[in-house]
Amino acid sequence: MKREQSIAQVRWDLAVRYRLIETVALWEGRLTKVYLVQSFGISRQQASKDINTYITEHAPKNFTCDRQIKGYVAGKQFKPLFIDDSSSA
């Protein structure tokens, strides 16, 4: 059973990583663990855990798995939760 967690309850370090996940998805249209590993100096296992937690607990419709790139592709229903997606920001 997955643990539901509101956005306000997310630890700040995870929230920062989730913001990067959404920013990369908006700019690149795809996401791999490498972005998190290089940006935050975390292990590949931790990056994988963060991405999977983001998907399962917060935004299950934002990404689909793409085995060719060994990562995720932003879905058609992608909607950021941790960043402002307006172009006026």
pTM of the predicted model, to two decimals? 0.84
Q: Is residue 50 part of a domain?
A: yes
CB 30 within 8 A of CB 69: yes
pLDDT of the residue at 89: 47
**Packing angle, helices 12-28 and 33-40, rounded to 10:** 130
User: Which residues lie across from 63 on neighbouring strands?
Assistant: 74
Distances in Å between the alpha carbon of 30 and those of 4, 64, 70?
A: 25, 9, 10
| pLDDT of residue 87 exceeding 80 | no
- Report the number of distinct structural domains present in the chain: 1
**Cα atoms found within 13 Å of the Cα of residue 21, Cβ hemisphere only:** 29
Both tokens of 30, joined, read 């795809």
What the block records as the tokens of 78 is 């992608």
Q: How confident is the model at residue 5 (pLDDT cuts 50, 70, 90)?
A: low
Q: Which CATH number is 68's domain given?
A: 1.10.10
**pLDDT for position 7:** 75
**55 found inside a domain:** yes
First-to-last alpha carbon distance for the chain, in angstroms, is: 37
The amino acid sitting at 83 is I
Structure confidence by residue, pLDDT tens digits, 32-82: 999 999 999 999 999 999 999 999 999 999 999 999 999 999 999 899 999
Domain assignment of residue 62, yes or no:
yes
Residue 64 falls inside a structural domain: yes
Domain containing residue 69: 11-74
